[in-house]
Amino acid sequence: MKWRGRRGSTNVEDRRGMGGKGLAVGGGLGGLIIVLIVTLLGGNPGDLIGGMGETEQSVPYEETEKEKENAQFVSVVLADTEDVWTDIFREQGLTYKEPQLVLYTGSVQSACGAAGSSVGPFYCPGDQKLYIDLSFYQELQDKFDAPGDFAMAYVIAHEVGHHVQTLLGKTEEIHALRSKLSETEYNKYQVRFELQADYYAGVWANHAQDMNVLEKGDLEEALNAASGVGDDTLQKKSQGYVVPESFTHGTSEQRKRWFYKGFQNGTIKGGDTFKVKEL
Residues 195-224 that bind Zn ion (CB under 5 A): 197
Q: Give min distance, CB of 41 to Zn ion, in A.
A: 8
Give the residue with the Cβ less far from Zn ion, 80 or 194: 194
Torsion sign across C-alpha atoms 86, 90, 91, 94: positive
Considering only the stretches 14-22, 85-93, 172-180, 194-202, report the one whose residues sit in contact with Zn ion under the rule CB under 5 A.
Answer: 194-202
Residues 207 and 192: their CA atoms lie apart, in Å, by: 23
Given the complex with Zn ion, which of 6 and 188 has the nearer CB atom? 188
Helix, strand, coil percent content, the chain, rounded in steps of 5: 50, 10, 40
Q: How far is the CB of 162 from Zn ion (least distance, A)?
A: 6
State the nearest-atom distance from the C-beta of 183 to Zn ion, in Å: 18
Q: Do 252 and 232 touch, CB atoms closer than 8 A?
A: yes
Q: How far apart are the first and last CA of the chain?
A: 29
Nearest alpha-carbon partner for 229 in 202, 250, 260: 250
Q: How many residues bind Zn ion (CB under 5 A)?
A: 2
> Which region among 16-24, 103-111, 193-201, 215-223 touches Zn ion (by CB under 5 A)?
193-201
Q: Cβ closer to Zn ion: 194 or 221?
A: 194
Could you tell me if 72 and 80 are in contact, meaning their C-beta atoms sit under 8 angstroms apart? Answer: no
Q: How far apart are CA 38 and CA 124, in angstroms?
A: 6
HSE of 12 in the Cβ direction (CA atoms, 13 Å)?
23
For Zn ion, give the closer residue by CB, 258 or 263. 258
Closest CB 138 distance from Zn ion, rounded Å: 20
- C-alpha 133 chain-centroid distance: 12
Q: How far is the CB of 261 from Zn ion (least distance, A)?
A: 16
Is the CB of 96 or the CB of 259 nearer to Zn ion? Answer: 259
Minimum distance from CB of 37 to Zn ion (Å)? 10
Only one of the segments 97-105, 186-194, 214-222, 268-276 lies at the binding site for Zn ion (rule: CB under 5 A); that segment is 186-194
Interacting residues with Zn ion (CB under 5 A): 194, 197
